[in-house]
């Protein structure tokens, strides 16, 4: 039997796929042509779902940690009773906010909302605000353009100039490369700005390798050069841009030579970038998520977006700003500009919230009431949140920890009770995307194995045990049957006449009102109705300059921890095509191409430290350390090292032992990449 479904992982592509099921097991995964953004189908990770679903290491029943620290199976009756006892006691003795509800971004779907509905019925809880992924960029885009959307992915084939700024599409957004190659075959120019020479840079006409955190300086200097030489679109600016005169005066102080010195890159390369933007249209700038994980990254992205505005590269085929396309987020609160603030009290229910970026600090700092219990789903915060040592210490200080998981991740190992999680093939859901504008049906194609229950069913059973009003339960939490889930989804779709489960079952469906060419109507939902280079909201909400400006990240070689300091190397922690953060590398198929972590280091930096290729080294700072084999890399900018993120502690490469729990300058994001370290041959200083 063949089914149409879609991958719900936290990934640009959100691939449509056809799956073949035989005798209750997945047998084959193939492309689905209905998603024009992913016509070539799933990547290696997607193909590994066959192993993931049927893995011998998968958790198939509730597990409770015994007094020896080992996990032993318990029945669902015992597990639910244990949770009910803790919830009832903690609510009585400390209040509902003594329970921290942590939900990550491991999968997308409408049913993810059920968790928060449960906790609202419970009387509240402590949640997290902010995000680990992209909020500085979301907020920079919203302040400037009014909305987070971009053109359909295939529109890149119409571009004449494509700038991948801090993005390695060949590994993190592999389907985009199809459209980039189509543009290049038609004569387009590709520019890649990245401290690493990545696969994406192999066909680039220009590769700029800036010092990490200095991209804003380059953007401001390029803007100045464009204005100085008259290479701006005066008509577009007059009609659609607010604050250009203030911006013109502001950027006059930023010369190419200044930016070259700040970014530690040749001035001729920055001049070439300005020349390309002056001469070639339409131009598309596509920023990656890693670049907006610094303490200066919101202002950096505002400066880069300004380049599309002053050149008139918005609202036209082949042009524009690509960062996040939330046109399919028709059910979500993420479009709300307040989504990343510490939330106010909804509907009279008191809700306390702590920063996701500062989880390890926030848990012990909350006292009214103190946090006594944590509930984790769809996430692995023990190693994916900044400053792993503080997160682990905070977890271990709690009375009770519940984790819903498929495998024994680092966070699951910290739990007192593990509840087995479904896979994407074991419950129907509706999912959106953040790169294309499709809504898709993720169909249930097999029954959960063993004693696995979907999260929504777990909440349903707990709600009954806790004595919630049956009318509230039936309204907000679907029952355990497939029919109950479908009824829940139908209610969510009811306000959109263009959508139905039947239509979505046939394949991907464009979200209501989606634009293939973003801002083609030249409507910008900012306070002024124009693109805002000058934003009063930036000052009012985030206490930053209303104009894009450059300042050094808090942890920088040009700051207090500079070249004469103890930690002279930038630790870069990029994504890899072999994992989605901490997912997939436990599978045998993936380990064949990704057997273990290494630290990439430029031969110049290695020579200065007496490090040979393959030699085991210690990477460290005041926050933590890890030990890895070194791999020499001539494509890496000197002064930088790189370890791909997402390795588990048990795999030896958990990079957040060295990161700091800082927030970005706007959006309450996690500034993982403000991280300086030193590297030495293992055992050299001991």
Q: Which two tokens stand for residue 615?
A: 């030699």
Q: Is the pLDDT of residue 335 over 60?
A: no
Other CB atoms closer than 10 Å to residue 276's CB: what's the count? Answer: 18
Q: Which two tokens stand for residue 94?
A: 């400390």
Q: What is the mean pLDDT of the chain?
A: 93
Q: For 671-678, what is the mean pLDDT?
A: 94
pLDDT score of 105: 85
Angle of helix 267-279 relative to helix 256-263, nearest 10 degrees?
130
How far apart CA 305 and CA 315 sit, in angstroms, is: 13
Segment 501-551, tens digit of pLDDT = 999 998 999 999 999 999 999 999 999 999 999 999 999 999 999 999 999
Six token digits for residue 171: 């590994």
Q: Which of 134, 178, 180, 173 is nearest to 156 (CA)?
A: 180
What is the percent of the chain with per-residue pLDDT over 90, rounded to a whole number?
88
- Cα–Cα distance for residue pair 292/144, rounded to 1 Å: 15
Question: CA quadruple 596, 601, 602, 606: dihedral positive or negative?
Answer: negative
Q: In this model, does residue 563 exceed pLDDT 80?
A: no
How is the chain split into domains, by residue range? 2-54, 63-124+337-431+440-509, 136-327+519-542, 569-681
Q: What confidence score (pLDDT) does residue 380 get?
A: 95
pLDDT band at residue 617, thresholds of 50, 70 and 90? Answer: very high
pLDDT of residue 350: 42
| Confidence label for 333 from pLDDT (cuts 50, 70 and 90) | low
| DSSP conformational letter for 499 | -
What pLDDT, in 10s, does the model give residues 463-501?
999 999 999 999 999 999 999 999 999 999 999 998 999
Which pLDDT belongs to residue 685? 60
Instruction: Note the pLDDT of residue 334.
Output: 46
- Whether the predicted pLDDT of 341 surpasses 60: no
CA distance 293 to 302: 14
In angstroms, rounded to a whole number, what is the distance separating the alpha carbons of residues 385 and 123? 27
Asked whether the beta carbons of 457 and 80 are under 8 A apart, the reply is no
Tell me the C-alpha distance between 643 and 184, whole Å.
30
So what's the pLDDT on residue 107? 86
The CATH code of the domain at 569-681 is 2.40.40.20
Q: Spelled out in words, what is the top-level CATH class assigned to the domain 136-327+519-542?
A: alpha beta
pLDDT at 372: 98
Give me the sign of the Cα torsion angle 202, 204, 205, 206.
negative
Confidence category of residue 337, pLDDT binned at 50, 70, 90: very low
The domain defined by 2-54 folds into N-terminal domain of TfIIb (2.20.25)
Which stretch of DSSP H or E encloses residue 384? helix 381-384
- Work out the angle at residue 61's Cα, subtended by the Cα atoms of residues 57 and 62, and round it to the nearest 5 degrees: 115
- CATH of the domain spanning 63-124+337-431+440-509, picked from 2.40.110.10, 3.40.50.2300, 3.40.50.740, 1.10.150.170: 3.40.50.740
- pLDDT tens-place string over residues 252-284: 999 999 999 999 999 999 999 999 999 999 999
Q: Is the pTM above the cut of 0.75?
A: yes
**Closest CA relative to residue 157, chosen from 284, 50, 52:** 284
Q: What is the pLDDT of residues 135-169, one digit of tens each?
A: 999 999 999 999 999 999 999 999 999 999 999 99
Calculate mean pLDDT across residues 575-597: 91
Confidence of residue 345 (pLDDT cuts 50, 70, 90): very low
CA distance 615 to 618: 10
What lies within 8 Å, CB to CB, of 491 at 6+ separation is: none
**What is the reported pLDDT for 332?**
72
Asked whether the predicted pLDDT for residue 562 surpasses 80, the reply is: no
Residue 348: pLDDT over 70: no
- DSSP-assigned letter for residue 235: H
Q: For position 488, what pLDDT does the model report?
A: 95
Quote the Cα angle for 143-144-147, to 5°: 75
How is the beta sheet containing 206-208 ordered, strand by strand? 206-208, 189-193, 161-165, 283-287, 320-322
Q: What is the mean pLDDT of residues 85-97?
A: 97
Flag whether pLDDT at 346 surpasses 90.
no
- What Å distances lie between residue 438 and 174, 176, 682, CA to CA? 18, 16, 49
Q: What is the DSSP letter of 348?
A: G
Burial of 239 (0-12, 13-18, 19+ CB in 10 A): exposed
| 19-43 average pLDDT score | 91
Give the count of alpha carbons within 13 A of 348, CB side only: 1
- What mean pLDDT do residues 642-657 have? 94
Q: How far apart, in whole angstroms, are the C-alpha atoms of residue 440 and residue 428?
A: 11
Start-to-end Cα distance in the chain: 61
Say if CB 100 and CB 371 are below 8 A apart. yes
Res. 340: pLDDT tops 60: no
Confidence of residue 68 (pLDDT cuts 50, 70, 90): very high
* 429-431 vs 569-572, strand pairing mode: unpaired
**pLDDT for the residue 349:** 44
CA distance 455 to 583: 19
């Amino acid at each position: 039997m063949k089914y149409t479904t879609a991958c719900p992982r936290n990934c640009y592509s959100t691939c449509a796929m056809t799956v073949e099921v035989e005798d209750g097991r997945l047998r084959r995964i193939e492309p689905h042509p209905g998603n024009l953004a992913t016509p070539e189908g799933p990547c290696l990770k997607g193909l590994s779902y066959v192993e993931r679903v049927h893995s011998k290491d998968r958790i198939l029943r509730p597990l409770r940690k015994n007094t020896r620290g080992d996990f032993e199976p318990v029945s669902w009756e015992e597990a639910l009773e244990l949770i009910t006892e803790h919830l009832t006691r903690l609510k009585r003795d400390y209040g509902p906010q003594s329970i921290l509800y942590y939900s990550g971004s491991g999968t997308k779907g409408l049913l993810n909302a059920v968790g928060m509905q449960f906790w609202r019925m419970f009387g509240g809880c402590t949640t997290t605000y902010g995000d680990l992924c992209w909020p500085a960029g979301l907020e920079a885009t919203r302040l400037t353009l009014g909305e987070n959307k971009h053109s359909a992915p295939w529109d890149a084939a119409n571009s004449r100039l494509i700038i991948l700024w801090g993005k390695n599409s060949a590994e993190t957004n592999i389907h985009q490369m199809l459209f980039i190659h189509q543009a290049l075959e038609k004569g387009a120019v590709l520019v890649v700005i990245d401290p690493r020479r990545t696969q994406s840079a192999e066909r680039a006409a220009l590769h700029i390798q800036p010092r990490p955190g200095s991209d804003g300086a380059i953007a401001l200097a390029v803007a100045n050069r464009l204005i100085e030489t008259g290479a701006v679109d005066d008509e577009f600016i007059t009609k659609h841009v607010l604050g250009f005169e203030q911006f013109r005066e502001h950027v006059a102080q930023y010369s190419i030579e200044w930016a070259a010195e700040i970014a530690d890159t040749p001035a001729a390369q920055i001049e070439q970038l300005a020349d390309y933007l002056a001469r070639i249209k339409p131009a598309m700038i596509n920023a990656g998520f890693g670049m907006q994980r610094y303490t200066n990254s919101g202002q950096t992205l505002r400066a880069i977006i300004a380049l599309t505005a002053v050149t008139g590269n918005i609202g036209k085929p082949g042009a524009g700003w690509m960062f996040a396309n939330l046109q399919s987020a028709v059910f979500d609160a993420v479009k709300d500009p307040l989504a990343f603030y510490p939330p106010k009290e909804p509907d009279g229910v008191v809700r306390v919230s702590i920063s996701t970026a500062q989880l390890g600090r926030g848990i012990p700092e909350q006292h009214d009431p103190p946090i006594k219990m944590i509930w984790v789903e769809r996430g692995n915060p023990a190693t994916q949140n900044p400053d792993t040592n503080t997160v682990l210490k905070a977890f271990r200080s709690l009375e009770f920890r519940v984790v819903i998981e498929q495998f024994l991740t680092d966070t699951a190992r910290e739990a007192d009770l593990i509840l087995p999680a479904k896979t994407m093939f074991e419950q129907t859901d509706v999912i959106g995307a953040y790169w294309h504008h499709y809504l898709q049906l993720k169909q249930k194609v097999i029954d959960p194995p063993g004693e696995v229950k979907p999260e929504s069913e777990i909440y349903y059973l707990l709600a009954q045990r806790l004595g919630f009003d049956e009318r509230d339960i039936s309204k907000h939490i679907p029952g355990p049957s497939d029919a109950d889930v479908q009824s829940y989804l139908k209610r969510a779709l009811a306000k959109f006449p263009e959508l139905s489960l039947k239509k979505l079952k046939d394949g991907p469906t464009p979200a209501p009102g989606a634009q293939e060419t973003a801002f083609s109507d030249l409507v910008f939902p900012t306070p002024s109705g124009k693109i805002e280079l000058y934003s009063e909201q930036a000052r009012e909400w985030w206490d930053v300059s209303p104009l894009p400006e450059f300042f050094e990240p808090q942890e920088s070689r040009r700051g207090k921890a500079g070249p004469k300091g103890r930690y002279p190397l930038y630790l870069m922690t990029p994504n890899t095509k072999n994992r989605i953060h901490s997912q997939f590398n436990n599978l045998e198929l993936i380990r064949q191409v990704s057997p273990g972590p290494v630290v990439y280091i430029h031969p110049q930096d290695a020579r200065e430290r007496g490090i040979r290729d393959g030699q085991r080294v210690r990477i460290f700072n005041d926050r933590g350390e890890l030990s890895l084999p070194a791999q020499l890399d001539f494509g890496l900018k000197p002064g930088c090292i790189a370890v791909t993120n997402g390795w588990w502690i048990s795999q030896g490469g958990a990079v957040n032992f060295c990161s700091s729990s800082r927030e970005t300058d706007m959006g309450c994001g996690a500034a993982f990449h403000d991280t300086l370290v030193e590297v030495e041959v293992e055992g050299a200083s001991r």
